[in-house]
Amino acid sequence: MNPLGGEKSSPIPIVIITYKDLFLWAARYKSVSDVDYERRAAQISLSADDLKSLGIDDSAQVRLANEFGSIVVQAKLDPRCPKGFGFMPRSRLTNRLTNYDPTRAKNPNFKRIEVTVEPVS
């Protein structure tokens, strides 16, 4: 929903850069509830400019989609995040957006995941 009262904004392209989150990494070895895991994994840090382009506030739900999959996560304002990029913890959610071509690389692409972002109404 656009807080300015205008029409629904169009999806914008961003590049997701994933990182290892200590809580999520440790969750693989401990009995952490799925609710706690999903809460930590289901968020993306975006710039103020990108939140404004989407017409959303901090903590709004957004859909990230590309040719490999689609997920819904919570957008968080990060003043250190450059426009056009999003930071997201590496998790089973980001796995849904990655591609793996064993003829090109030994590992899936986790560092440059191109997606479109749109607000969830």
What are the structural domains of the chain? 12-119 (2.40.40.20)
Is the model's pLDDT at 20 over the cut of 90? no
Is the model's pLDDT at 10 over the cut of 90? no
C-beta of residue 20 within 8 angstroms of C-beta of residue 70: no
Cα radius of gyration rounded to whole Å, the chain: 15
C-beta of residue 83 within 8 angstroms of C-beta of residue 52: no
For residues 61, 32, 111, 66, the Cα torsion angle rounded to the nearest 10 degrees is -40
Is the model's pLDDT at 6 over the cut of 60? no
Residue 22's pLDDT band (cuts 50, 70, 90)? low
Is the model's pLDDT at 120 over the cut of 80? yes
Say which residue, 12 or 1, is predicted with more confidence: 12
Helix or strand run (H / E) with residue 87: strand 85-89
Is the model's pLDDT at 8 over the cut of 80? no
Say which residue, 6 or 73, is predicted with more confidence: 73
Show the tokens assigned to 107: 């590992």
